[in-house]
Amino acid sequence: MKVPIFQVDAFTDRIFGGNPAAVCPLKEWLDEKTMQRLAQENNLSETAFFVKNGDEYDLRWFTPEVEVDLCGHATLATAHVLFEHLDYAEDEIRFQTKSGLLIVKREGDRLMMDFPTDDMPQVDPPAVLFQALGIRSDHVFFTDDYMVVLDSEEEVQNLEPDFRLLSEVNARGVIVTAPGKEVDFVSRFFAPGAGIDEDPVTGSAHTKLTPYWSRKLGKDILEARQISKRVGELSCRNKGERTEILGSAVTYMIGEINI
Protein backbone atom coordinates (compact mmCIF):
# COMPACT_ATOMS: atom_id res chain seq x y z
CA MET A 1 0.00 0.00 0.00
CA LYS A 2 1.24 3.48 -0.88
CA VAL A 3 0.24 6.58 1.10
CA PRO A 4 0.95 10.11 -0.20
CA ILE A 5 2.86 12.36 2.17
CA PHE A 6 3.48 16.10 2.12
CA GLN A 7 5.80 17.90 4.50
CA VAL A 8 4.78 21.52 5.04
CA ASP A 9 6.37 24.31 7.07
CA ALA A 10 3.50 26.16 8.74
CA PHE A 11 3.29 29.69 10.11
CA THR A 12 6.09 30.85 7.84
CA ASP A 13 6.58 31.93 4.24
CA ARG A 14 9.99 30.24 3.86
CA ILE A 15 11.24 26.69 4.14
CA PHE A 16 13.24 25.84 7.25
CA GLY A 17 11.07 28.25 9.24
CA GLY A 18 7.85 27.81 11.20
CA ASN A 19 6.74 24.35 12.29
CA PRO A 20 7.04 21.33 10.00
CA ALA A 21 4.09 18.95 9.78
CA ALA A 22 3.52 15.81 7.74
CA VAL A 23 0.16 15.53 5.98
CA CYS A 24 -1.19 12.19 4.71
CA PRO A 25 -4.37 12.17 2.61
CA LEU A 26 -6.23 8.86 2.97
CA LYS A 27 -9.08 7.30 1.02
CA GLU A 28 -10.16 5.49 4.18
CA TRP A 29 -8.82 5.34 7.71
CA LEU A 30 -5.83 3.22 8.55
CA ASP A 31 -5.89 1.46 11.91
CA GLU A 32 -4.76 3.64 14.82
CA LYS A 33 -1.61 1.61 15.48
CA THR A 34 -0.40 2.13 11.91
CA MET A 35 -1.05 5.88 12.02
CA GLN A 36 0.85 6.13 15.28
CA ARG A 37 3.79 4.20 13.82
CA LEU A 38 3.82 6.47 10.76
CA ALA A 39 3.90 9.53 13.02
CA GLN A 40 6.75 7.98 14.96
CA GLU A 41 8.65 7.25 11.75
CA ASN A 42 8.08 10.81 10.49
CA ASN A 43 9.49 12.07 13.80
CA LEU A 44 7.86 15.49 13.45
CA SER A 45 5.86 17.20 16.15
CA GLU A 46 2.65 16.29 14.28
CA THR A 47 1.47 14.09 11.44
CA ALA A 48 -2.03 14.86 10.15
CA PHE A 49 -4.28 12.25 8.50
CA PHE A 50 -7.52 13.18 6.76
CA VAL A 51 -10.36 11.44 4.93
CA LYS A 52 -13.01 13.11 2.77
CA ASN A 53 -16.50 12.83 4.28
CA GLY A 54 -19.15 14.34 2.01
CA ASP A 55 -18.44 18.05 1.67
CA GLU A 56 -16.17 17.99 4.74
CA TYR A 57 -13.02 16.23 5.89
CA ASP A 58 -12.39 14.17 9.00
CA LEU A 59 -9.00 15.13 10.44
CA ARG A 60 -6.77 13.53 13.10
CA TRP A 61 -3.32 14.46 14.45
CA PHE A 62 -0.56 12.31 15.96
CA THR A 63 2.70 13.24 17.68
CA PRO A 64 5.44 10.57 17.67
CA GLU A 65 3.94 9.39 20.99
CA VAL A 66 0.19 10.07 21.14
CA GLU A 67 -2.91 11.22 19.28
CA VAL A 68 -3.89 14.78 20.23
CA ASP A 69 -7.26 16.55 20.31
CA LEU A 70 -6.18 19.78 18.61
CA CYS A 71 -3.22 20.90 16.50
CA GLY A 72 -3.10 24.27 14.79
CA HIS A 73 -0.01 24.07 12.62
CA ALA A 74 -0.91 20.64 11.18
CA THR A 75 -4.43 21.93 10.42
CA LEU A 76 -2.90 24.87 8.57
CA ALA A 77 -0.58 22.46 6.74
CA THR A 78 -3.50 20.19 5.79
CA ALA A 79 -5.49 23.11 4.38
CA HIS A 80 -2.39 24.24 2.44
CA VAL A 81 -2.09 20.77 0.88
CA LEU A 82 -5.75 20.75 -0.14
CA PHE A 83 -5.63 24.24 -1.63
CA GLU A 84 -2.21 24.05 -3.30
CA HIS A 85 -1.82 20.38 -4.29
CA LEU A 86 -5.20 18.60 -4.30
CA ASP A 87 -7.19 21.09 -6.37
CA TYR A 88 -9.65 22.09 -3.65
CA ALA A 89 -11.71 24.75 -5.42
CA GLU A 90 -13.73 26.40 -2.64
CA ASP A 91 -12.48 29.20 -0.39
CA GLU A 92 -13.44 27.42 2.84
CA ILE A 93 -12.56 23.95 4.18
CA ARG A 94 -14.54 22.33 7.02
CA PHE A 95 -12.71 19.80 9.18
CA GLN A 96 -14.45 17.53 11.70
CA THR A 97 -12.09 16.74 14.57
CA LYS A 98 -11.99 15.62 18.20
CA SER A 99 -12.25 19.32 19.07
CA GLY A 100 -15.35 19.80 16.92
CA LEU A 101 -15.70 21.70 13.67
CA LEU A 102 -12.63 23.64 12.50
CA ILE A 103 -12.86 25.96 9.52
CA VAL A 104 -9.98 27.19 7.38
CA LYS A 105 -10.44 29.96 4.79
CA ARG A 106 -8.26 31.67 2.24
CA GLU A 107 -7.58 35.28 3.21
CA GLY A 108 -5.29 37.00 0.75
CA ASP A 109 -2.00 35.12 0.62
CA ARG A 110 -2.56 33.56 4.05
CA LEU A 111 -4.91 31.02 5.55
CA MET A 112 -7.27 31.82 8.44
CA MET A 113 -8.23 29.14 10.97
CA ASP A 114 -11.38 29.48 13.07
CA PHE A 115 -10.88 27.63 16.38
CA PRO A 116 -12.79 27.47 19.67
CA THR A 117 -11.36 29.87 22.26
CA ASP A 118 -9.84 28.38 25.41
CA ASP A 119 -10.06 31.05 28.11
CA MET A 120 -7.88 29.78 30.96
CA PRO A 121 -8.57 30.39 34.67
CA GLN A 122 -5.73 31.45 36.97
CA VAL A 123 -4.47 28.65 39.23
CA ASP A 124 -1.90 27.83 41.89
CA PRO A 125 0.80 25.92 39.99
CA PRO A 126 2.50 22.72 41.15
CA ALA A 127 6.00 23.26 42.55
CA VAL A 128 7.54 21.05 39.85
CA LEU A 129 6.42 23.53 37.16
CA PHE A 130 8.65 26.32 38.47
CA GLN A 131 11.43 23.88 39.31
CA ALA A 132 11.43 22.62 35.72
CA LEU A 133 11.33 26.09 34.16
CA GLY A 134 13.83 27.67 36.53
CA ILE A 135 11.66 30.77 37.01
CA ARG A 136 8.70 31.96 39.07
CA SER A 137 5.57 33.90 38.16
CA ASP A 138 2.48 35.20 39.93
CA HIS A 139 0.44 34.66 36.78
CA VAL A 140 -0.18 30.99 35.93
CA PHE A 141 -3.26 29.66 34.14
CA PHE A 142 -4.48 26.15 33.32
CA THR A 143 -6.92 24.10 31.30
CA ASP A 144 -5.17 21.20 29.53
CA ASP A 145 -1.97 23.28 29.26
CA TYR A 146 -0.28 25.51 31.82
CA MET A 147 0.34 29.09 30.72
CA VAL A 148 3.02 31.05 32.59
CA VAL A 149 3.20 34.82 32.02
CA LEU A 150 6.57 36.58 32.38
CA ASP A 151 7.53 40.25 32.23
CA SER A 152 9.79 40.38 29.19
CA GLU A 153 10.60 38.75 25.87
CA GLU A 154 14.18 38.22 27.05
CA GLU A 155 12.99 36.04 29.95
CA VAL A 156 11.06 33.83 27.55
CA GLN A 157 13.93 33.69 25.08
CA ASN A 158 16.48 32.74 27.74
CA LEU A 159 14.53 29.86 29.30
CA GLU A 160 16.38 26.54 29.48
CA PRO A 161 13.85 24.09 30.97
CA ASP A 162 14.69 20.81 32.63
CA PHE A 163 12.67 18.63 30.26
CA ARG A 164 12.85 15.56 32.46
CA LEU A 165 11.22 17.48 35.31
CA LEU A 166 8.83 19.22 32.94
CA SER A 167 7.56 15.84 31.70
CA GLU A 168 6.30 15.23 35.25
CA VAL A 169 3.87 18.16 35.01
CA ASN A 170 0.35 16.81 34.56
CA ALA A 171 -0.61 18.72 31.41
CA ARG A 172 -0.54 18.45 27.64
CA GLY A 173 2.13 21.14 27.55
CA VAL A 174 3.43 24.38 29.04
CA ILE A 175 3.14 27.79 27.37
CA VAL A 176 5.47 30.58 28.51
CA THR A 177 4.60 34.06 27.25
CA ALA A 178 5.44 37.75 27.64
CA PRO A 179 4.89 41.09 25.89
CA GLY A 180 6.84 41.33 22.65
CA LYS A 181 9.25 44.03 21.53
CA GLU A 182 8.21 43.97 17.85
CA VAL A 183 4.86 42.18 18.18
CA ASP A 184 2.07 42.23 20.76
CA PHE A 185 3.22 39.06 22.51
CA VAL A 186 5.73 36.24 22.22
CA SER A 187 5.62 32.67 23.45
CA ARG A 188 7.34 29.29 23.60
CA PHE A 189 5.66 25.89 24.02
CA PHE A 190 7.06 22.80 25.73
CA ALA A 191 5.47 19.33 25.70
CA PRO A 192 8.02 16.69 26.72
CA GLY A 193 5.23 14.46 28.08
CA ALA A 194 3.89 14.18 24.51
CA GLY A 195 7.33 13.50 23.06
CA ILE A 196 8.06 17.10 22.00
CA ASP A 197 10.56 18.98 24.16
CA GLU A 198 9.86 22.26 22.36
CA ASP A 199 7.26 22.73 19.65
CA PRO A 200 8.50 25.28 17.07
CA VAL A 201 5.09 26.95 16.52
CA THR A 202 1.87 25.97 18.26
CA GLY A 203 -1.36 27.21 16.70
CA SER A 204 -3.59 25.68 19.38
CA ALA A 205 -1.70 27.54 22.12
CA HIS A 206 -2.88 30.79 20.56
CA THR A 207 -6.50 29.93 21.33
CA LYS A 208 -5.37 30.38 24.97
CA LEU A 209 -2.91 33.23 24.46
CA THR A 210 -5.28 35.39 22.42
CA PRO A 211 -8.03 35.95 25.03
CA TYR A 212 -5.44 36.68 27.73
CA TRP A 213 -3.47 39.24 25.72
CA SER A 214 -6.64 40.70 24.23
CA ARG A 215 -7.81 41.64 27.73
CA LYS A 216 -4.33 42.68 28.88
CA LEU A 217 -3.64 44.95 25.91
CA GLY A 218 -7.21 46.10 25.27
CA LYS A 219 -7.28 45.04 21.61
CA ASP A 220 -8.87 42.23 19.64
CA ILE A 221 -6.39 42.04 16.73
CA LEU A 222 -2.94 40.89 17.80
CA GLU A 223 0.37 40.09 16.16
CA ALA A 224 2.25 37.16 17.72
CA ARG A 225 5.61 35.47 17.37
CA GLN A 226 6.64 32.08 18.73
CA ILE A 227 10.33 32.52 19.44
CA SER A 228 11.63 28.99 18.99
CA LYS A 229 14.78 28.49 16.91
CA ARG A 230 12.63 28.18 13.77
CA VAL A 231 10.37 31.16 14.64
CA GLY A 232 6.69 31.37 13.72
CA GLU A 233 4.58 34.39 12.78
CA LEU A 234 0.85 34.51 13.55
CA SER A 235 -1.95 37.06 13.49
CA CYS A 236 -4.73 36.46 16.03
CA ARG A 237 -8.26 37.83 16.32
CA ASN A 238 -10.34 37.60 19.45
CA LYS A 239 -13.93 36.77 18.45
CA GLY A 240 -15.21 35.85 21.90
CA GLU A 241 -16.00 32.14 21.87
CA ARG A 242 -13.91 31.70 18.72
CA THR A 243 -10.32 32.66 17.90
CA GLU A 244 -9.16 33.35 14.37
CA ILE A 245 -5.51 32.56 13.65
CA LEU A 246 -3.85 33.58 10.39
CA GLY A 247 -0.61 32.24 8.97
CA SER A 248 1.27 31.23 5.87
CA ALA A 249 2.59 27.82 4.84
CA VAL A 250 5.11 26.50 2.33
CA THR A 251 5.65 22.99 0.94
CA TYR A 252 9.01 21.44 1.73
CA MET A 253 8.60 17.92 0.34
CA ILE A 254 6.17 15.65 -1.54
CA GLY A 255 6.58 11.89 -1.38
CA GLU A 256 5.05 8.46 -0.96
CA ILE A 257 5.08 6.03 1.97
CA ASN A 258 5.30 2.28 1.36
CA ILE A 259 3.35 0.31 3.98
The whole-angstrom separation of Cα 229 and Cα 237 is: 25
The whole-angstrom separation of Cα 77 and Cα 169 is: 29
- What does DSSP assign to residue 162? -
The 3-state DSSP class for residue 80 equals helix
Q: How crowded is residue 251: how many other Cβ atoms within 10 Å of its Cβ?
A: 16
- DSSP per residue, 199-259: ES--TTTHHHHHHHHHHHHT-SEEEEEE-SSS-EEEEEEEETTEEEEEE-EEEEEEEEEE-
Query: Could you report how far apart the first and last alpha carbons of the chain are, in Å?
Result: 5
List 28, 32, 41, 46, catalytic entry: 46
The whole-angstrom separation of Cα 12 and Cα 19 is: 8
The reply to whether 46 belongs to the active site is yes
H-type helices in 28-110, by residue range? 32-42, 72-85
Q: Say if residues 111 and 76 touch (Cβ distance below 8 Å).
A: yes
Cβ-based neighbours of 59, under 8 Å, separated by 6 or more: 48, 49, 50, 75, 78, 95, 96, 97, 102
- Give me the active site residues, please: 46
